[in-house]
Amino acid sequence: MRGALVSSEKIDITQPFLINGNTYEVSYIDSTGFQIFLQPSNETEAPVRGLTAPNFQATDLEGNEHNLHSYFGEPVLLEFWSKYCPYCKEVRPDLNQLQEEYCEDFTLMTMARETDRNELKEHLKKNPKQGIFVLRNDEAWNTFNPITATPTFYLIDSDGTIKMKGIGAEKIEVVEKMLQNLL
């Protein structure tokens, strides 16, 4: 395939990806980086729009285990955040409002970068936030957010298909519109 990429066509070649509804993966890149060779992929799960979100288990602040796939059947908004992130603080009121408005219709699951349960409990007492809070699971974090940008959002439909990925505070408006379309 030849042609210039536009922003909506940019892909992460370290993961399987979709082109015209077909899943591919990179099989080889020449040493000059001039040619890239693709091969069909049978992957159905990857943190990529159009594929099923990979499953993970994570522990909440009370010690309960949560399995991402157990929430399929309704849309899931998955957020990766940090208590030190100013942009995460900026979107908190919007996320709280979404959760209040649509709490019966979707699940908001948030995974903190931090791993200290008591530290997060104290933070959330001072900075209330809605949703299911899970502690960092390194495998899930590295799968969904390898560049560790916060906030990072994944909107997953009721069938488990990733509908969008967004990074940064300005993406919350897009997330809300897409969530409304799924409900």
Q: Where in the chain are the domains?
A: 10-40, 57-182
Task: Say if residue 86's pLDDT is above 90.
Answer: yes
75: pLDDT strictly greater than 50: yes
Q: Rounded distance, CA 41 to CA 37, Å? A: 13
Percentage of the chain beyond pLDDT 70 is 95
pLDDT category, 142, cuts 50, 70, 90? very high
Per-residue confidence (pLDDT) for residue 8, from 0 to 100:
55
Is domain 57-182 classified as CATH 3.40.30.10? yes
E strands, 14-53, are 17-19, 22-29, 36-40
- Token duo for residue 175: 């997330």
Alpha helices, H only, the chain: 86-102, 117-126, 138-144, 172-182
Categorize the per-residue pLDDT at 169 as very low, low, confident or very high, splitting at 50, 70 and 90. confident
Query: What number is the average pLDDT over the span 144-167?
Result: 92
Question: What pLDDT score was predicted for residue 1?
Answer: 44
Backbone conformation region of residue 148, classed left if phi is above 0, alpha if psi is from -120 to 50, else beta: left
Q: What does pTM read for this prediction?
A: 0.83
